[in-house]
Chain A
Amino acid sequence: MMLTSKSITKESIIDVEGIVSLVPQKIESCTQQDVELQIEQVFVISQAAPRLPLQIDDAARPDGDESQGPMVNQDTRLDNRILDLRTSTSQAIFRLEGGVVQLFRESLMKRDFVEVHTPKIISAASEGGANVFEVSYFKTSAYLAQSPQLYKQMAICSDFDRVFTIGAVFRAEDSNTHRHLTEFVGLDLEMAFNYHYHEALDVIGSMFNDIFRGLRDRYQTEIETVNKQYPAEPFKFLEPPLRLTYPEAVKTLRENGVEMGDEEDLTTPAEKLLGRLVKAKYDTDFFILDKFPMAVRPFYTMPDPNDPKQSNSYDIFMRGEEIMSGAQRIHDPKLLTERALHHEIDLTTIQSYIDSFKYGAAPHAGGGIGLERVTMLYLGLDNIRKVSLFPRDPKRLTP
């Protein structure tokens, strides 16, 4: 029988009949150490092809541990994603990713948010035109939504007060980096507020902390499993989250040798450096940067009433990478038109957006995060493709 069972190819699905019995000595090489299975019959339910494109053991080997055997490179993994997903690491990653969505939903439901679903086929580009995929739509063409922003704002205008949406988002950016995908899952929220946009920022901050706390407490084993293959420092955060202002960040960066103007945007290296500096001082991987300069934000961002150069907008960082960019939105059609003209945007393309604020709109703020990015940064992984089930990037459409 040993002989027959040896001829069963790896990764085949089998049924086994046998007797579970206690062992006199612990079996050190297995995870189940107290009992063993004395097999009497084996049935092959589904036989795997004899030659696997990659070995699961190889795919589960810690990075840089080449002395133990061959490594599987990223493209081979993605080409044979089904096998790659069978590693305990991948299993843990996607369980945790599901947890992020669940915690996001739980946290917002608790705060009286309504879950809505927005259309993904849209007639015009929501943010002015660039980076959208064009698709044919019967006799005309349409676009794939690059953000549910307009629709969640319209939901606010329809008196939903607080909404969130979870769905695919498409970006036609030809960026081949470790953190860009052309299709990803967007977790977006928008809420009306009473007195100050910091109400929204408070909600967003506590929402993130709910997610981090939930992951820390509920997904401990998954985090440990992933860390075995991809070691990373545990994700650190503060309760309540740390909130810094943009001018302060610029000042800190200048003190550390970065040359930049007051109204310049942060470059990616500057972001990373800022992340490191904040971590050194406050020991947190998560922080909010408030009050970005007006010049680097989109036209629909609300200017600061006290300083026209600043805006009521914020970015949120995890491990020194930006994960959310949000703001209070302009809810006054007149001001919106003015700002759009200032940015030299063709008014006809955004007329429907402006019109949605004509019949009374509450002041509101919000933002959106990419599920994959949050998962990647929480786990301290180096590539976003590891946390997307079937990633889509400029060079990959299959599987």
Chain B
Amino acid sequence: MFKVEPHYKFESKDVDLPKCMFKMDKIVGKEGVSLPGQGGTNGPIDIQSLEKRQDKILKELAEIEKEVKNLEEKFGVETTTAASTKQVTSGTAAVIGNIIHDVVVYANPSSPPHSLVYLYNRLQESYTCRTAVHVHSSVQSVPEKLLNYFGNGVTVERPEAQISLTLIWKDVKHGPEMRVNPSDQTPICGEANIARYLARLFQPSYEADLHSACLADHWLDLASFSLVGGNTKERAAAVRSLNSHLGKKSWLLESTSSFVDAVVFSALHQAGQRSGASGNVKRWLQGCESDRLFGQMRTLLA
């Protein structure tokens, strides 16, 4: 290259550095920072294990993706519009505010989601709720007792309710479906998932304890996959496992009834396993029916 003379002569010895800025430490060349790839005795091993972990995660993700695809095909749900499901973090009435949180549930009158009654009664403990029951035109007629599904509670006007639960008896093929805000949520399918959503409203902390959250998920999965969606063998196995669990406890999770009890209770009915129930399961079923939070379940089942 050519040599170029400096543009100007720099003679001053002291340079006035501006004092209006913050001082910062040098980033490069500082001691104690080891750049990736250089130095560090166990560097390569770290990277290898990291890579392994990444591969494993990617593989798991792919598996989950496949599973979702399968479910999507099975139930014919469109996930194209699926945006993020808004996290329901609030448990306090103040955060939900005076917004009426209109939860719409479609259910088939031939297999009523009995857990809704329980969930509604629990919601009522923390919020002003109202319910409405409609019959969709795809259904010719429904029994009288289903029209009065939630019992003769005090009904508040729509604008005054914090949570409004609208139940629509509709000819839905794959279990109940819930819609809260269809423009930025996909419908939530399956009774167990609806129960999860609603349970977060009245008991936002139920997932805080990982152990109990896993237990809850175990029973919910058992209800939806083995009892409702399973074949005869799987059903029998599920009932057996219920029976042995209920030998030690009177309720599935805690010392009192929980929404998990309600979902499994409903699943047993839908699977037609109620009449054949014996021993501990039978005792537990009777316990559910007479529980206050199950409302008028006896009349509904009669």
Give chain A's interface residues, CB within 8 Å of chain B.
Answer: 212-213, 216, 234-240, 242-245, 247-248, 255-256, 277, 280-284
Contact = CB atoms under 8 A, between A and B. Distances in A.
Contacts of B158: 243-245, 248
Contacts of A280: 179, 182-183
Given A245-B158, A283-B106, A238 B137 contact: yes
Interface in B140-185: 158-159, 166, 168, 170, 179, 181-183
A216 B179 contact: no
Contact of B136 (A213, A238, A248): A238
Interface string B180-205: 01110000000000000000000000
A216 B137 contact: yes
B134 A242 contact: yes
Contacts of B182: 277, 280-281
Interface residues of B, number: 18
B138 interface: yes
Given A238-B134, A248-B100, A282 B183 contact: no
Nearest to B180: A281
Nearest to B133: A240
B93 interface: no
B252 interface: no
Nearest to A241: B134
A227 to B, nearest CB: 16
B135 interface: yes
A381 B132 CA distance: 31
A238 B168 contact: yes
Most buried by A among B106, B179, B183: B183
A283 B136 contact: yes
30 contacts: A213-B137, A216-B137, A234-B137, A235-B137, A236-B136, A236-B137, A236-B138, A237-B136, A238-B134, A238-B135, A238-B136, A239-B136, A239-B137, A242-B134, A244-B158, A245-B158, A248-B100, A248-B158, A248-B159, A277-B183, A280-B182, A281-B102, A281-B181, A281-B182, A282-B134, A282-B166, A283-B136, A283-B168, A283-B170, A284-B134
A239 B182 CA distance: 21
A166 to B, nearest CB: 25
A107 B170 CA distance: 25
Query: Can you list the 5 inter-chain pairs with the closest CB atoms, starting with the nearest?
Result: A238-B134, A280-B182, A239-B135, A237-B137, A281-B182
A241 to B, nearest CB: 8
Contacts of B137: 212-213, 216, 234-239
Contacts of B181: 255, 281
Contacts of A243: 158
A277 B100 CA distance: 16
Nearest to A209: B137
A238 B104 CA distance: 13
B136 A284 contact: yes
B138 A240 contact: no
A88 B32 CA distance: 88
B86 to A, nearest CB: 12
Nearest to B106: A283
B132 to A, nearest CB: 8
A94 B159 CA distance: 41
A13 B159 CA distance: 63
B183 A256 contact: yes
Interface in B86-108: 100, 102, 104, 106
B38 to A, nearest CB: 53
A282 B182 CA distance: 10
B139 to A, nearest CB: 9
